């Protein structure tokens, strides 16, 4: 979309939310790979405006409906002092809706939490503790929410066998040049069938919960003054899932020494001190309510999430980069190789991983 095109849309969208573009300052916000997000300032008011990616979200109203249901639940918990983080919510349009449609695009406005920032990496052990207990609190606060009320926004989102099938399909339709570039990564994925079988058996023993499904460190807002977590954001993929998905996604985004799209694989290492702090705080936050199977599954989640994200990036590379935003031709391939390297490092450190995750105390010592 060209800038003038986007500006014209922005103007109409703002009108539908009761604002005039000429009185607003609009700037880009965040580093998401899917939606386009803006910060809007109008006089003394600030709010977030977001254009949902319609290629990714085939039924965007499901996204805004789910977000309304979740924020209603979290607001009630917050008011009852059962949830310490700030719930975020969607603003209503002048037609009293949580979205507006302009030129076939789907937009929404979100509450902007003041005095906050996001982080792209963990700076210390205390922060790791805070990140893990925040994401765990988020999931724990949703443990009494009936997951059937939530639409399955992207079916099979974290279903490994479905992701493998999508890769297979992309491979059949892809150009030879891309396949050649992806070949070594494809071969390695193919060699991991025993791991895929383990996951298929494991998931039969796990309870479904309402999970966030995108627990990257940059989906947590930190208060700028106190440096403490303020709110869990980006509820786009909040739906039924397994706890190991959220734990694994958090670990993959917090423990690698390099960014998820860095090509400098020789520099990649895992910070086990951070991992240990994450595991201890995450498990303790559930205060004994995790079954043995769920606790043990977290170990698998740590390997599963980079492995599955590698498959997703590679599939998109073979499909011609239609899903994730990219900045250069091999961006998705670089991301896939990066996540595969992370998976390999975790596999090499299986014993250490087991020691950390399985020995994490199940009870919250502070409670």
Q: What does the binding site for ligand GN1 look like in residue numbers (CB under 6 A)?
A: 32-34, 56, 214, 216, 234, 236-237, 260, 309
- Residues facing 25 on adjacent strands: 41
Residue 214 sits in the site that holds Mg ion (CB under 5 A): yes
* Contact partner, 334, from Mg ion, ligand GN1, none, Cβ < 5-8 Å per class: none
Cα–Cα distance between 216 and 292 in angstroms, integer? 25
In angstroms, give the least distance from the CB of 309 to ligand GN1: 6
In angstroms, give the least distance from the CB of 167 to ligand GN1: 15
CB distance 156 to 162 below 8 Å? yes
The residue among 5 and 31 lying less far from ligand GN1, judged by its C-beta, is 31
- The helix (run of H) or strand (run of E) holding residue 209 is strand 209-211
What are the E-state strand segments in 112-204? 116-117
* Contact partner, 49, from ligand GN1, Mg ion, none, Cβ < 5-8 Å per class: none
Strands of the 24-28 sheet, one edge to the other: 24-28, 36-42, 45-52, 105-111, 100-102
Q: Which stretch binds Mg ion (CB under 5 A): 38-46, 155-163, 226-234, 238-246?
A: 226-234
The residue among 219 and 297 lying less far from Mg ion, judged by its C-beta, is 219
In angstroms, give the least distance from the CB of 262 to ligand GN1: 13
* DSSP 8-state symbol, 17: T
In angstroms, give the least distance from the CB of 33 to ligand GN1: 4
Length of the chain: 367
The residue among 236 and 321 lying less far from ligand GN1, judged by its C-beta, is 236
In angstroms, give the least distance from the CB of 219 to ligand GN1: 7
Cα–Cα distance between 38 and 36 in angstroms, integer? 7
* Contact partner, 261, from ligand GN1, Mg ion, none, Cβ < 5-8 Å per class: none
The residue among 73 and 331 lying less far from ligand GN1, judged by its C-beta, is 331
The residue among 236 and 294 lying less far from Mg ion, judged by its C-beta, is 236
In angstroms, give the least distance from the CB of 237 to ligand GN1: 5
CA 114 to chain centre: 22
Buried b (16+ CB within 10 A) or exposed e, 116-137: beebebbeebebbbbbbbbbbb
For residue 49, report the phi and psi dihedrals to the nearest 5 degrees: -120, 135
Q: Considering only residues 105, 234, 246, 261, which one is a binding residue for Mg ion as defined by CB under 5 A?
A: 234
The residue among 71 and 93 lying less far from ligand GN1, judged by its C-beta, is 71
Residue 260 sits in the site that holds Mg ion (CB under 5 A): no
The residue among 31 and 205 lying less far from ligand GN1, judged by its C-beta, is 31
For residue 94, report the phi and psi dihedrals to the nearest 5 degrees: -65, -15
Site string for Mg ion, 170-209 (x = CB under 5 A): ----------------------------------------
Residue 249 sits in the site that holds Mg ion (CB under 5 A): no
Give the helix ranges, DSSP H, for the chain: 3-16, 60-79, 125-141, 160-173, 176-190, 193-202, 243-255, 272-285, 292-318, 331-348, 350-358
CB distance 336 to 314 below 8 Å? yes
Tell me how far apart the terminal alpha carbons of the chain are, to the nearest angstrom. 51
In angstroms, give the least distance from the CB of 23 to ligand GN1: 29
In angstroms, give the least distance from the CB of 226 to Mg ion: 25
In angstroms, give the least distance from the CB of 340 to ligand GN1: 14
Cα–Cα distance between 211 and 139 in angstroms, integer? 6
Q: Which stretch binds Mg ion (CB under 5 A): 3-11, 87-95, 168-176, 229-237?
A: 229-237
CA 146 to chain centre: 21
Look up tokens 């969208």; give the residue: 13
Q: Single out the residue of 24, 31, 38, 25 nearest to residue 107, CA to CA.
A: 38
Instruction: State which residue has the least CB distance to Mg ion.
Output: 214
Q: Which residues make up the interface to Mg ion (CB under 5 A)?
A: 214, 234, 236
């Amino acid at each position: 979309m060209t800038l003038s095109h986007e500006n014209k849309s922005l103007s109409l969208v703002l009108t539908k939310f009761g604002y005039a573009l000429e009185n607003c300052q609009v700037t880009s916000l965040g580093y998401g790979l899917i939606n386009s997000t803006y910060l809007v300032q109008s006089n003394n008011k600030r709010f977030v405006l977001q254009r949902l990616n319609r290629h990714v979200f085939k039924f965007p109203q499901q996204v805004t409906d789910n977000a309304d249901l979740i924020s209603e639940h979290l607001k009630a918990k917050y008011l009852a002092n059962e949830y310490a983080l700030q719930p975020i919510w969607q603003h209503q349009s002048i037609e009293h809706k949580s979205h507006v449609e302009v030129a076939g695009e789907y937009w929404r406005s979100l509450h902007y939490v003041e005095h906050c920032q996001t982080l792209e990496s963990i700076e210390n052990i205390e922060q790791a503790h805070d990140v893990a207990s925040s994401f765990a609190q988020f999931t724990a606060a949703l443990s009494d929410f009936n997951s059937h009320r939530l639409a399955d926004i992207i079916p099979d989102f974290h279903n490994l066998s479905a992701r493998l099938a999508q890769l297979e399909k992309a491979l059949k339709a892809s150009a030879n040049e891309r396949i050649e570039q992806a070949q070594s990564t494809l071969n390695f994925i193919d060699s991991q069938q025993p791991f895929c079988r383990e996951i298929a058996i494991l998931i039969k023993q796990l309870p479904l919960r309402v999970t966030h499904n995108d627990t990257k460190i940059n989906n947590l807002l930190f208060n700028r003054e106190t440096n403490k977590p303020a709110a869990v954001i980006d509820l786009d993929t909040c739906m039924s899932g397994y706890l190991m998905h959220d734990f694994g996604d958090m670990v993959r985004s917090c423990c690698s020494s390099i960014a998820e799209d860095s090509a400098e694989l020789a520099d990649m290492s895992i910070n086990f001190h951070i991992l240990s702090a994450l595991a201890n705080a995450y498990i303790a936050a559930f205060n004994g309510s995790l079954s043995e199977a769920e606790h043990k599954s977290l170990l698998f989640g740590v390997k599963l999430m980079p492995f599955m994200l590698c498959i997703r990036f590679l599939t998109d590379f073979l499909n011609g980069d239609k899903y994730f935003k990219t900045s250069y031709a091999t961006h998705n391939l670089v991301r896939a190789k990066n996540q595969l390297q992370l998976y390999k490092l975790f596999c090499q450190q299986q014993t250490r991983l087991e020691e950390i995750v399985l020995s994490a105390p199940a009870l919250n010592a502070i409670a």
